[in-house]
Amino acid sequence: MLDAMIESHGLTKRLGGRAIVSDVTFTCRPGTVTGFLGPNGAGKTTTMRMLCGLSDPDAGHAEILGVNYRQLPNPGRRVGILLDASAQHAGRRGEEVLTLSALTIGADPAKVPELLDRVGLPKRAARQRLKAYSLGMRQRLGIAAALVGDPEVLILDEPANGLDPEGMRWMRGLLRDFADRGGTVLLSSHLLHEVEAVADQLVIIGNGKIVAAGTREELLSGGGTLVRPAADHGDDRLARALADAGLTVHAHPDGGFIVEAEPDDVGRAALAGGVALSRLGPSESAGLEQLFFDLTSSDASAASAAPANDLQEAAR
């Protein structure tokens, strides 16, 4: 069995002189779920389109099951793909969409009802035309279409979009089960909590570049310590106490700080400054959230910095 089912080697895509995806490299191994995370517009979809041969990279290359996707003789039987659940003919019935896919790749169309059942689409919905489908139903149908060929690799772009909390839980279970049976899953999301619980590996992309990648544990270990002061003591006092102790701190979006130190040292610093704490501990996902927040906010600040510079130059 291949060790790397999906390989992205320095994938780069330029659009109008600007690199919208730049040097994206990662590997997905069998039996794992990889969460491809990033804010909207970070380059997730573009990367996935290059993986699936829909878009030609300007540099780098991608391999699925050891070859360029376009070289797979019958890719639908090896790789299940859902890039955009809305990219379907509005006038086609749900079951017909699956039947068409099955017939194209030589899978048994008699399995369509079973598949519809598996993704939780009732018989009535199967007979409906897609214009009557909600986004959540389209996602379920799209996942069913990806599963038609009984593939060993799944590539899903924002599959949780439009799913209700129950649907999200169902999807996580389905993907976990798929990976546990030896399959390889790559799924993208712009929401950390959607994939955090199911992903074995996270690849985080911002502004077209990979900013962090690794197992959940690896990414969390450098997360530092989350500390919050008691309500009547305030962030300012705590910030002073931590600064006095020579610790590096980052403000947390929900209040308190992420400190680049062990909880012991943070606790001592707070004691020395006479600040009561309401929370002290390893930041865990707070660290990831912070990373994610930094990504999104650095996009925003980069955008707002430009006009500020213009003003300064105008003043000179």
Partner 1 sequence: MSATTIDAPLARDTRPGYARLIRIELRKMYDTRAGFWLLVTAVLLAGLAAALTILTGSDTGRNFSNAMDNSTQAINFLVPVVGILLVTSEWSQRTAQVTFTLVPRRERVLVAKVGAAVLLALAAFVVTIALSAVFTAIGGKESIDTGQGAWEIGGDVLLQIALFNVISMLIGVGLGAAILLSAPAIVAAFVLPVGVSLICELISSLDDVANWIGQGEALSPLSDHALSGTEWGRVVTATLLWAALPLAVGLWRFVKSEVR
For partner 1, the binding residues (CB under 8 A) are 52-55, 69-70, 72-78, 81, 83-84, 86-93, 96, 100-101, 103-106, 129, 145, 149
Shortest Cβ 124–partner 1 spacing (Å): 18
| 73 vs 165, beta carbon nearer partner 1 | 73
Whether 182 contacts 188, CB under 8 Å = no
| 92 vs 237, beta carbon nearer partner 1 | 92
Shortest Cβ 73–partner 1 spacing (Å): 4
Whether 6 contacts 151, CB under 8 Å = no
Shortest Cβ 57–partner 1 spacing (Å): 12
| CA contacts within 13 A on the Cβ side of 307 | 4
- Give the per-residue SS3 of 47-104: HHHHHCCCCCCCEEEEEECCECHHHCCCHHHCEEEECCCCCCCCCCEHHHHHHHHHHH
| 76 vs 223, beta carbon nearer partner 1 | 76
| 87 vs 306, beta carbon nearer partner 1 | 87
Sequence-distant (≥ 6) Cβ neighbours of residue 204 within 8 angstroms: 37, 38, 210, 211, 212, 213, 219, 291, 292, 295
Got the DSSP string for 250-279? Answer: EE-TTSSEEESS-HHHHHHHHHHTT--EEE
The neighbour count for residue 192, using CB atoms within 10 Å, is 19
Shortest Cβ 144–partner 1 spacing (Å): 12
| 143 vs 241, beta carbon nearer partner 1 | 143
Cα–Cα distance measured from residue 26 to residue 7, given in angstroms and rounded to the nearest whole number: 6
Q: Which amino acid is at 111?
A: K
Tokens of 80: 């299940």
Closest residue by Cα to residue 277 from 246, 307, 233: 233
| 40 vs 278, beta carbon nearer partner 1 | 40
| 19 vs 230, beta carbon nearer partner 1 | 19
Shortest Cβ 115–partner 1 spacing (Å): 16
Shortest Cβ 207–partner 1 spacing (Å): 21
Shortest Cβ 82–partner 1 spacing (Å): 9
User: Taking the chain, what is the end-to-end CA distance rounded to the nearest angstrom?
Assistant: 65
